[in-house]
Amino acid sequence: MKNSLAFENVRISLESIRSHLLRTVLTILIIAFGIMALVGIITATDSIKYYLTQNFSMMGSNTFTIRNRSMNVHMGGDNQVQKRYDPITFSQAMEFKKRFDVPANTAVFMFASFGVTLKNGSNKTNPNTRVMGTDQDYIITSGDEIEKGRNFSQNEIDEGLSVCIIGSEIVKSLFKNKEEPVGRVISIGPGKYRIIGVLKSKGSSMGFSGDRNAMIPLNNCRKEFPRPNLSFNINVMAKRPDLVDPAIGEASGIFRSIRKVPVGIENTFEITKSDNIAKMLIENIKYVTWAATLIGAITLIGAAIGLMNIMLVSVTERTREIGIRKAIGATRRVIRNQFLVESVVIGQLGGALGIILGILIGNIMSLLIGSAFIIPWEWILIGVVLCFGVALLSGIVPAQKAANLDPIESLRYE
């Protein structure tokens, strides 16, 4: 009996929606916009979180970097000043690599330039190629993979030979006829280099693409791209994740000794775990989530007012109908539930539309940055509950008004 009454209330609600389609659609759209803003922005931020985690942590949680400056990530109202220390010299970096005996791969590298044009005959890259000087261990510690060719040999590093490893985007720019790049000679800055390897594509990360990197031997880079205050970086990849903290402690002690840092003085270098940037950015994305929640809440308040208004108008227009129902035996409870169900149906239709649009719009961001398709199940559930709550609150006053109508007066209503 209860189930049949509930189905009857839903049927009546749908008939009422069809008979007042325009204003009902407008109310549904207001509710849908609030839920779309909430679910859409949350979906977009979740896709960004996933992307950051995948890209910034691709070196693995067992990798850390030693450099002469702290990370410089500014978001929101954080105006933290970046710390800079004296450059890490080549001799300091190489001495560290020699003395560091924790089970790990240790790589020394430097950034030669961030705006170099590479050439192959008449073909050339845009002047946004990053040239790096590396040793043979950098590929292992950076999370890069060789797709074609091979890594540097120890002899090529020691002798500073004119060989290079390039990213996949550089290959597309320099070899437009899809020639085999390995073994070809190209121009990098002032010198000629033979390609010995091509990196597997990793896509772009926050506007910077590893596919535009060109790597040359460290000693060669020191000669071809000298500059004052040049600082070297050190990557360390522990063999196991449980060795990371001991390795960081050991690295800190050794490098303090190399840099001659007195006891009681803070480090004159920065040790950064590979996933720290992702964690910092993800932490700051919470402000976007709060903004989305505020936008959704304000819109839902407006939707609640609109829904209450449409239900009050519906009660007024259906006064005679309510009188007839009461005259043939409908109780106050039945009348009240009928209007509450109608309000909930409108709210859930708006919620369903908003959730679908929110997921689609949020995943446009995911598509643009190359992240995975995200469905925020937790926020979908929250959206459904919010719509139910808004509809219930908006429908209580009109439903109570309908239930309290006098049947005799209702039948005489024109």
> What are 226-270's pLDDT values in tens digits?
888 889 999 998 888 788 889 999 999 999 999 998 888 888 898
Token code pair at residue 300:
């839902």
Of 274, 301, 329, which one is at a domain's C-terminal end?
A: 274
Does any domain span residue 92?
yes
**What is the spatial distance between Cα 297 and Cα 295, in angstroms, rounded to a whole number?**
5
- pLDDT for 192 beyond 60: yes
Of 253, 274, 295, which one is at a domain's C-terminal end?
A: 274
Q: Are 344 and 10 in contact (CB under 8 A)?
A: no
Collapsing DSSP states into helix, strand and coil, what is residue 87?
A: coil
For residues 153 and 289, state if they share a domain. no
- Kindly state the percentage of the chain with pLDDT values over 70: 84
Provide the pLDDT for residue 106.
93
For residues 119 and 242, state if they share a domain. yes
Question: Which segment of 73-77, 117-121, 200-204 scores lowest on mean pLDDT?
Answer: 73-77
More confident residue, 351 or 274: 351
Tell me which residue range forms the domain holding 379: 2-54+285-411
Question: Which segment of 71-75, 121-125, 338-342 scores lowest on mean pLDDT?
Answer: 71-75
For residues 295 and 216, state if they share a domain. no
What does the pLDDT average to over 365-384? 78
**What is the spatial distance between Cα 246 and Cα 100, in angstroms, rounded to a whole number?**
12
**What is the spatial distance between Cα 414 and Cα 411, in angstroms, rounded to a whole number?**
8
Collapsing DSSP states into helix, strand and coil, what is residue 344?
A: helix
- pLDDT for 272 beyond 80: yes
Residue 45 — pLDDT band, cuts 50, 70, 90? confident
**What is the spatial distance between Cα 34 and Cα 302, in angstroms, rounded to a whole number?**
9
Sequence letter at residue 13: S
For residues 82 and 114, state if they share a domain. yes
For residues 68 and 181, state if they share a domain. yes
Q: Average pLDDT over the chain, rounded to whole? A: 81
Provide the pLDDT for residue 342.
80
For residues 105 and 43, state if they share a domain. no
Of 227, 243, 274, which one is at a domain's C-terminal end?
A: 274
Does any domain span residue 303?
yes
Provide the pLDDT for residue 300.
75
- pLDDT for 92 beyond 80: yes
What is the residue whose two structure tokens read 């803070």? 266
Q: Which residues pair with 163 in a beta bridge?
A: 194
**What is the spatial distance between Cα 320 and Cα 188, in angstroms, rounded to a whole number?**
86
Beta strands in 150-190 (DSSP E): 163-166, 185-188
For residues 264 and 155, state if they share a domain. yes
Question: Which segment of 162-171, 186-195, 287-296, 351-360 scores lowest on mean pLDDT?
Answer: 287-296
More confident residue, 151 or 78: 151
**What is the spatial distance between Cα 101 and Cα 59, in angstroms, rounded to a whole number?**
20
Does any domain span residue 91?
yes
Q: Write the Ramachandran bin of 221: left for phi over 0, alpha for psi from -120 to 50, otherwise beta.
A: alpha
- pLDDT for 63 beyond 70: yes
Does any domain span residue 279?
no
For residues 50 and 71, state if they share a domain. no
Token code pair at residue 118:
């590479």
First to last CA, the chain: 33
What does the pLDDT average to over 161-177? 92
Residue 193 — pLDDT band, cuts 50, 70, 90? very high
Identify which of 219, 326, 282, 222 has the alpha carbon closest to the alpha carbon of residue 53.
282
Token code pair at residue 68:
């002469």
- pLDDT for 73 beyond 60: no
Does any domain span residue 252?
yes
Does any domain span residue 99?
yes
**What is the spatial distance between Cα 362 and Cα 39, in angstroms, rounded to a whole number?**
7
Does any domain span residue 134?
yes
Q: Are 369 and 206 in contact (CB under 8 A)?
A: no
**What is the spatial distance between Cα 126 and Cα 128, in angstroms, rounded to a whole number?**
5
Provide the pLDDT for residue 207.
46
For residues 321 and 251, state if they share a domain. no
**What is the spatial distance between Cα 307 and Cα 303, in angstroms, rounded to a whole number?**
6
Does any domain span residue 280?
no
Split into its structural domains, the chain has a count of 2
For residues 17 and 105, state if they share a domain. no
Provide the pLDDT for residue 275.
64
**What is the spatial distance between Cα 188 and Cα 254, in angstroms, rounded to a whole number?**
36
Residue 206 — pLDDT band, cuts 50, 70, 90? very low
What does the pLDDT average to over 206-222? 79
- Environment class of 397 (CB within 10 Å of its CB; exposed 0-12, middle 13-18, buried 19+): middle
For residues 212 and 236, state if they share a domain. yes
Identify which of 46, 21, 18, 31 has the alpha carbon closest to the alpha carbon of residue 353.
31
For residues 99 and 129, state if they share a domain. yes
Question: Which segment of 45-54, 170-179, 182-191 scores lowest on mean pLDDT?
Answer: 45-54
Identify which of 386, 363, 397 has the alpha carbon closest to the alpha carbon of residue 34.
386
Question: Which segment of 164-173, 229-238, 260-269, 294-303 scores lowest on mean pLDDT?
Answer: 294-303
What does the pLDDT average to over 323-351? 80
